[in-house]
Amino acid sequence: MGDKARGTFGTRFGVVMTMIGVAVGLGNVWRFPYMVGEFGGAAFVAFYLAVVAIIGIPALVAELALGRHTRRGTVGAFALGGLPLGRQVGWFFFAVVTAATAYYSAVIGWVLYHAAAMLVPFDAGAVLPPATGFTPRPYLLQAAGTGLVLLACAAVLLKGLRGGIERASKLLTPALFVILLVLIARSVTLPGAGEGIRWYVLKFEISHLTAANALAAIGQAVFSLALGGTFMVVYGSYLDRDQDLRWTAAATAAGDTTAGLLAGLAIFPAVFALGLAPDSGPALIFVTLPTVFRAMPGGSVFGFLFFAGLAGVAYLSAVAALEVLTAGLTDNTSITRTRAVRLMTAIVFVVSLPPTVNMRIFAPWDLTFGSGMQTLGAFCAAVTVGWAFVRADAIRELGSRRLYLWVRYVIPGILLAVGVWWATTAIA
């Protein structure tokens, strides 16, 4: 493919911080800890580490290769990569990202609200959507938070790749790791924290090595590494031709996994120290943790640091999502970047309103446009690189014939199995 005039990252450090920032997001600081709690503690952690190495990194290399080879984001990459009906597939995932960015931005608004609630005494739960029905006050708070998040994303995108996205990533991604280390130092020194450490790191039970837990680990890896034929494809299109994709993918996976492991080490010792349940699901962050922080000495400060750090990296993922949409318009229409950013910011805000009415709408929205569609997108990206690319081009981009065969045969098969499992779970 001939290169279209297109911006590239300025430094290797900027590339890695941007990729890690996108991958971490809510996936590894919010979702990873509660998945560990629900699916068996140390056994799930072991599953997850194996999945990242065997499946996650090769799939990530494939998505970066798809973007770099075609010099396009989601819309355009599948078509130029040779996938049948590729343009239609690209526009389909454009619509998926629009829907996903909408509810994801709302969740970041919840995180910001909880950060403020750690310092100012008010009801943090007032911003969450009710289980059923419609309540004006939380709905208006959610809309305000979502709008604030999207405006902040637009501000970065208007400054471009190096001056906006890369610069923000180089500041926010290291800050998250510093905050997690501070929280770990406090969490592991609480009386009774040792039981949480043993459960998280050492309590490996053979009975937890089940097929369901393994599939859950694969699904979490897809979610956490921002796979899905979208984020990493568009960022891959901004990589230089001499960038080693295998090294970039490995560094991204290492940073992302480290963030998840550190988040668990910051959370579970404190949860056990206060006698709370580690398997409280998605509520672990928004219900259980605020209780933990309020009960520990100096907890308001540590709680603020946690939610502020979570908001920071989640924000980087939202920036990437909005960049997917912006690139989709600028790559395939005559719309300028400035106008594309403003247009998609407005559209995403409007789309964010329905799923935040109540949890009966939000939960299936998240399941469909998050886990389900991400697995489908990752499958399409692997098939495009493994089967639609010219063989020589694929091997050159991937950097290895063995990796090419792995992407061609193994990754699609595994992702297809996960997709079937997800679909049957959703139906049940």
Rounded distance between C-alpha atoms, residue 112 and residue 117, angstroms: 9
Rounded distance between C-alpha atoms, residue 161 and residue 7, angstroms: 7
pLDDT tier, 234 (very low <50, low <70, confident <90, very high otherwise): very high
Question: What residue numbers bound the domain in which 88 lies?
Answer: 12-427
In a domain, 163, yes or no: yes
Q: What is the pLDDT of residues 358-408, one digit of tens each?
A: 988 988 888 788 767 888 999 999 999 999 999 999 999 999 999 999 999
* pTM to 2 decimal places: 0.91
In a domain, 344, yes or no: yes
Chain-centroid distance of CA 11 in Å reads: 23
In a domain, 2, yes or no: no
The H-assigned helical ranges of 120-158 are 136-157
Rounded distance between C-alpha atoms, residue 182 and residue 194, angstroms: 17
Residues 139, 357: contact at Cβ < 8 Å? yes
In a domain, 100, yes or no: yes
Query: Worst-scoring range by mean pLDDT, 54-58, 123-127, 175-179, 273-277?
Result: 123-127
In a domain, 5, yes or no: no
Q: To the nearest whole percent, how much of the chain has pLDDT over 70?
A: 95
pLDDT tier, 26 (very low <50, low <70, confident <90, very high otherwise): confident
Whether the per-residue pLDDT at 277 is higher than 80: the answer is no
Residues 238, 8: contact at Cβ < 8 Å? yes
Axis-axis angle for helices 211-224, 245-273 (nearest 10): 120
In a domain, 4, yes or no: no
Residues 317, 28: contact at Cβ < 8 Å? no
Max Cα distance, the chain (Å): 61
Rounded distance between C-alpha atoms, residue 254 and residue 243, angstroms: 17
Label residue 174 exposed, middle or buried (CB < 10 Å: 0-12, 13-18, 19+). Answer: middle
The stretch 290-302 carries a mean pLDDT of 84
Rounded distance between C-alpha atoms, residue 196 and residue 101, angstroms: 34
What's the CATH number where 52 sits? 1.20.1740
In a domain, 74, yes or no: yes
Angstrom distances, CA of residue 128 to CA of 38, 131, 140, 198: 22, 9, 11, 33
pLDDT tier, 260 (very low <50, low <70, confident <90, very high otherwise): confident
Q: What is the pLDDT of residues 118-176, one digit of tens each?
A: 888 767 667 888 888 888 888 998 999 999 999 999 999 999 999 999 999 999 999 99
In a domain, 6, yes or no: no
Whether the per-residue pLDDT at 1 is higher than 50: the answer is no
Our count of domains for the chain comes to 1
Tokens in use for 176?
Answer: 């998250």
Reference 287, options 359, 367, 221, 216; nearest CA is 359
pLDDT the model gives residue 161: 93
Neighbours of 53 (CB within 10 A): 14
Q: What is the pLDDT of residues 42-56, one digit of tens each?
A: 888 888 999 999 999
Whether the per-residue pLDDT at 334 is higher than 90: the answer is yes
Residues 375, 419: contact at Cβ < 8 Å? yes
Instruction: Determine the straight-line distance between the first and last CA of the chain, rounded to whole angstroms.
Output: 45
